Structure 1
Amino acid sequence: MAEEEKEKKKGGKLKWIILIVLLLVLLGGGGFVAWKFFFSKPTGETDQPQQVQLDANAQGESSPKDAQVVTLPTFLVNLADPLGRRYIKLTLDVEVVNPEIAKELEAAQAKVRDAVILLLSSKSYADLAPLENKILLKNELVTRLNQILGGSKVVRVYFTELVIQ
């Protein structure tokens, strides 16, 4: 009877050892898979930042000869952050294709301010912090202004003052 108890105890220890080894193998395999999918870079990828087209000049386009720049009043807008404590202060210069469009832009000041304020207030600090996202914001502003004016009348937007706090 004493021999049977010793064999049961040995079997119990053996089960625990196998269970611990199996657990370590599973954790090690899971850790490797997590590292492979989330932390390692695919082959050919480098640490170099991606090139972003800054504006139409970078794409080889030139400004129209009649182009005119219109300065919009400063925008001070609360950002869409959870605590509501962040804001953006932004002054824009808008390049339009000709002086007639500049007059149209000035006549549509209320629509322009509304569109810009709605766009800015929908952004959070995280949306605007990286340089690439600021460039995307410029493109979004050009799109919104062209929607208001109808057609491709706005060539580009320049940030003359940008504070995010």
Structure 2
Amino acid sequence: MADAPEAPEEKKKSGFLKYVILVVLLLLLGGGGFFAYQYFFVAKPPATAEQAKEQAQAEEKKAEEQHAPAEEKKAEGGHGEAQKGGHGGKEAPSNLVALPAFVVNLADPNARRYLKIVLSVEMTGNPELLEANQAKIRDALLMLLSTKTSQDLSTLEGKILLRKEIVDRLNQAIGQAKVARVYFTDFVIQ
């Protein structure tokens, strides 16, 4: 009979122990969640105002370099060619020109899908040909891109074929075979 009173006391201890363990686990999970939030999601501010200014100037400089006019890129390319010198002039100078973004409706029959594409064009000749024929180029590319479906463009082979077709259309639009390659800098199907 002495065993009967001990059993409820033992249940009380084990119940209390369960609550203590549960509270400790919740505190650990909460602390881990707070640490993860602080470490991964909260941006660290610059330590001083001087560092913030330097960071803003660096971002502005980077943005200016990306949006530099074709004449500046051509001038920069000319300086680099003079330094190469060892090629003997056999290679034609190549210029990389960024085109503005294209947004077109795709030819999907059952859904309204859009393609946003940004291109960089590698020219073997004068990059000013692209600027002079900008209306022809936009028309040719819009007509080409609007005939594609999202299924055509979802595969690697489809993207490679699209690159070749774009090079052909650009060369037709400018009237000379001066476009060597096309690079996708942004490619979004929505």
- Whether the TM-score (by the shorter chain) exceeds 0.5 is yes
For this structure pair, what is the TM-score category when the shorter chain's length is used for normalisation?
Answer: 0.5 to 0.7
- 1:2-13 aligned at under 5 Å gives the runs none
Q: Separation in 1 of the partners of 2:131 and 2:111?
A: 31
Normalising by the residue count of structure 1, what TM-score does the alignment of the two structures yield?
A: 0.58
Cross-structure match for 2:145: 120
What percentage of residue pairs aligned between the two structures are identical? 55
- 1:100-111 aligned at under 5 Å gives the runs 101-111=126-136
Cross-structure match for 1:91: 118
Please state how far the C-alpha of 1:151 moved relative to its aligned partner: 2.7
Equivalent residues of 1:78, 1:84 under 8 A apart: no
- 1:74-85 aligned at under 5 Å gives the runs 74-85=101-112
State how many pairs are aligned: 101
Please state how far the C-alpha of 1:149 moved relative to its aligned partner: 1.5
Please state how far the C-alpha of 1:66 moved relative to its aligned partner: 1.3
Aligned-residue CA RMSD (Å): 1.5
Please state how far the C-alpha of 1:84 moved relative to its aligned partner: 4.4
Q: Separation in 2 of the partners of 1:108 and 1:151?
A: 11
Q: Separation in 2 of the partners of 1:94 and 1:121?
A: 20
Q: Separation in 1 of the partners of 2:127 and 2:154?
A: 30
Structure 2 unaligned residues grouped into runs of 5+: 1-90
Give the helix-richer structure, 1 or 2: 2
Higher relative contact order (CA 8 A, sep 6+): 1
